[in-house]
A and B are shown apart, each in its own frame.
Chain A
Amino acid sequence: MIRQVEVLRVSRIYGATPALRGISATFLPHTITLIEGPNGSGKSTLLGLLSTAIRPTTGQILWHPFGSSPELARPHIGWLSHESLVYPDLSGIENLTWSARLHGLTPEALDPLTDRLHLGSFARRPVRTMSRGQRQRIAIARALLSRPSLLLLDEPTTGLDREGITLLVRIIREEAERGAIVAIIAHDLELGTLLGATSLRLERGQQISPSISPHVEGS
């Protein structure tokens, strides 16, 4: 499992456009970090870097104890992107079963997750036919299914109804309590307050607020 993530003077440049400039931060177990900032501030780029989907242009990311190896860190990362990262032609259950197999999990092991996320009969339909909120539930389940020690959530409340948001808040708290490192992007600052999250604020690709995430209360 990932015990700590260190971001060391990381920059990411797309063509001639810098998305992130010299970011340094530490993410610890039992913590929830709210990454906030205006549009284009580099939040999703930072989450993409933490997820191993993007490589830094300069600087380094260390997923302790795996060092800077994305290959070793990947099995321990759960990532909810702003896209669902699933195959629209497959059903929700087919997508989850396939993802579980990639992580070396048995398909039967999905049962507790489907209960936990209240995935009803809609999960047996092709993802293409699902509403935005239903897709989001499948995407959240996909991010959670390997019990990741680094959980990255990019605007997780998108498309969810009030009941879904309440459920999501409870799940995020449970994940942090069991020891996961949780990083969330949300424009809704109330979510951060509800979760007791610490804030990492970005503006124009630069870091404005603290770089070390404190432990959440009770951990």
Chain B
Amino acid sequence: MARSTRPPGWLGFTWLVLSKDLHIERKSGEIVTTSGFFALLVAVMASVAFSTGENRAAVAPGVIWISMAFASVLAISRSWHREREEGALTGLLVSPVPRGAIFTGKALGVTLFLFAVEGLVIPVAALLFALDLTRIGGGLLGIALAATPGVAASGTLFGAMTVRTQARDLVLASVLFPLLSPTLLAAVAATRELIVGAGLGELGDYFVLMAIFDLIFWAGGISLFGLLLEG
């Protein structure tokens, strides 16, 4: 059997893992559809339950990021479920792909799926809470870009830990929510400040906090992923 002239390097392997997840999602639409629907349901229910009209600006940030937190657990769980079926993850682990490239490809996939869900949730939340997206849209995009990679990386890392455990969804949620707290709190606080009129320049501290957690979870994931999977 012929070999290609250039076997994949680390980035090539990462792209192969990512493109495989995107291809499966294009065919099934399962993760974005289920997570997106779930997040929208949480947003609508929370708006009906908590919004009085006067407190919209205070409630909206919590609704957006709580719905994203729940949706991210669902998305991460489904992403790893695909790897468990038919032992596909084991097949990947005995292939020549470096562990760090598997992590990066999976985490990038989850990041893109969560961006897609945010693309549904934020406009709906803006509609429900009468937020002016022409004023805060750019800022919200920045907050999403800063918060989501950390959520995806930590979820992918600890989702991998639970692949071989019983009651994995319970374990994932129990481990993940405390870990996501700093990122989510920073995102909620930054969104609140943005809604009440702060400029992007005033949100620097929140962006720094989110960037630090992004860095910790991506670096930790790339270096620890193999260790966590193999035990």
Contacts and interface: CB of A to CB of B under 8 A. Distances in A.
Contacts, number: 90
Given A105-B2, A108-B2, A87 B95 contact: no
A113 B1 CA distance: 9
Contacts of B230: 55
Contact of A104 (B4, B82, B87, B90): B4
B201 to A, nearest CB: 45
Contacts of A118: none
Which range contains the number of A residues in contact with the other chain? Answer: 35 or more
B2 A74 contact: no
Contacts of A94: 23
A87 B7 contact: no
B224 interface: no
Interface in B76-112: 82, 85-88, 90-91, 93-98
Which range contains the number of B residues in contact with the other chain? Answer: 20 to 34
A74 B88 contact: no
Contact of B96 (A74, A83, A85, A98): A74
B91 A142 contact: yes
Contacts of B93: 52-53
A77 interface: yes
B1 A90 contact: no
Given A102-B13, A104-B6, A83 B86 contact: yes
Given A104-B7, A109-B1, A87 B24 contact: yes
B96 A102 contact: yes
A106 B90 contact: no
A87 to B, nearest CB: 5
Nearest to B95: A102
Given A52-B94, A98-B16, A89 B1 contact: no
Contacts of B4: 104-106
A112 B94 contact: no
Given A105-B2, A109-B2, A83 B90 contact: yes
B135 interface: no
Given A88-B85, A89-B24, A112-B1, A102 B16 contact: yes
A147 B7 CA distance: 15
B86 A84 contact: yes
Nearest to B8: A104
Contact of B82 (A53, A55, A87): A87
Of listed A51, A89, A99, residue having the most chain B CB within 10 A: A89
B166 interface: no
Contacts of B28: 89
A125 to B, nearest CB: 12
Contacts of A106: 2-4
Nearest to B24: A89
A147 B2 CA distance: 10
A40 B85 CA distance: 23
B88 to A, nearest CB: 5
Contacts of B3: 103-106, 109
Given A86-B91, A89-B28, A104-B3, A98 B20 contact: yes
Of listed A77, A98, A113, A127, residue having the most chain B CB within 10 A: A98
30 contacts: A52-B94, A75-B96, A79-B91, A81-B90, A83-B87, A84-B87, A85-B86, A85-B88, A86-B88, A87-B20, A87-B85, A87-B86, A87-B88, A89-B27, A89-B28, A98-B16, A99-B91, A101-B16, A102-B8, A102-B16, A103-B3, A104-B4, A104-B6, A104-B7, A105-B1, A105-B2, A106-B3, A108-B2, A109-B2, A135-B86
Interface of B: 1-4, 6-8, 13, 16, 20, 23-24, 27-28, 82, 85-88, 90-91, 93-98, 230
